[in-house]
Amino acid sequence: MKILVCIKQVPDMESKFKIDGTWYDTRDLAWRMNEYDEYGVEQAVCLKEQVAGSDLTVLSIGPARVKESMKKALAMGCDRGIHIEDDKVAERDPYSIAAIIAEYARNQEFDIIFCGMQSQDRASAQVGILTAELLGITAVSTIISFNYDHPTITVKRELEGGVKAVISTTAPALFTCQLGLNTPRYPTLPNIMKAKKKEMLSVPVSDVLKVEAAQQTEKIFFPEKKGGGLILEGDPADIAGQLVRILKEKTTVLSR
């Protein structure tokens, strides 16, 4: 079975963001693998372990630093990395990203493709489904359970209010992974060492970008603080005392 997992490198969401033109300033940020994609990598590795003779490729688009996240995916069990070299990845819209992936994947006959359900920064939730539509294969989004029993793939889609839809399909298909799909493994030291010897191919973005963007960011800004909220800061005992006083005054739950 030929498997592809697509990952994105994103900044730590707790970062102090600064604005730079029409995007956030990408300097001085800590970068990591998009959390949703970690579930995709884990599911891809589980499937590879289940089906003898499988081959698992991890793909990422971005500047050289994204190779750090790809190394983690290789250490988790992917066989090879495809790095699409693109210094302008931040400004690419979801359609361009999907078109790049589809262009690379076309004619390679991947049986199964995993993507994160969305990225933590843009959160468009478009790239996976667009990729599948461009490739003309089945897409099922937001999965929280995956089971392969040749030739049937049965997944659960997460809907609102804790309800799940049980869906079955067959390869070729793409799945977008929701948080909680599995428990992503931590790479072990021997596997981190082994990963260094794995193949990492670089492809210039100009080889695989054949479309024009469908949208562009006009302006980026911080939302206005609505205010009203009181900020307590300082010595824990002091602010705990202040909080208790306020709660007694403003709510009915503590005055009993």
Q: 198: which 2 tokens?
A: 């794995």
Non-local (6+) Cβ contacts of 199 within 8 A are 79, 80, 81
185 counts as binding another protein under rule CB under 8 A: no
By CB under 8 A, the residues from 58 to 87 that bind another protein are none
Q: Which of residues 2-61 bind another protein (CB under 8 A)?
A: 11, 13-14, 16-17, 19, 22, 24
Q: Can you say how many angstroms the Cα of residue 254 is from the centroid of all Cα atoms in its chain?
A: 43
Least distance to another protein from the beta carbon of 124, Å? Answer: 4
Closer to another protein at the Cβ: 204 or 241?
241
Q: For residues 184-194, b (16+ Cβ closer than 10 Å) or e, as one string?
A: beebeeeeeee
- With CB under 8 A as the contact rule, the residue among 37, 93, 103, 111 that binds another protein is 93
Q: Which of 65, 168, 193, 205 binds another protein (CB under 8 A)?
A: 168
Dist CA 122 CA 120 (whole Å): 6
3-state secondary structure of 34: coil
Residue 115: CB minimum distance to another protein, A: 12
- Main-chain dihedrals φ then ψ at residue 89, nearest 5 degrees: -60, -35
Is there binding between residue 179 and another protein (CB under 8 A)?
Answer: yes
Are the C-beta atoms of residues 91 and 217 closer than 8 Å to each other?
yes
Give the burial class of 65: count Cβ atoms within 10 A of its Cβ; 0-12 exposed, 13-18 middle, 19 or more buried: exposed
Least spacing, CB of residue 149 vs another protein, in Å: 13
**212 part of the interface to another protein, by CB under 8 A:** yes
Q: Does 255 bind another protein (CB under 8 A)?
A: no
Residues from 221 through 240 that contact another protein (CB under 8 A): 221-223, 225-226, 228-233, 236-237, 239-240
Nearer to another protein, 74 or 131 (CB): 131
Q: Which CB sits closer to another protein, 63 or 172?
A: 172
Q: State which residue, 190 or 236, has the beta carbon closest to another protein.
A: 236
Interacting positions 99-138 with another protein (CB under 8 A):
118, 120-126, 129-130, 133-134, 138
Q: Which residues of 130-145 are buried (b: 16+ CB within 10 A; e: fewer)?
A: bbbebbebbbbbbbbb
Give the number of other CB atoms < 10 A from CB of residue 246. Answer: 13
The verdict on 154 binding another protein (CB under 8 A) reads yes
> In the bound complex, what is the minimum distance in angstroms from residue 9's beta carbon to another protein?
14
Give the distance between the most distant pair of CA atoms in the chain.
Answer: 70
Q: How far is the CB of 79 from another protein (least distance, A)?
A: 27
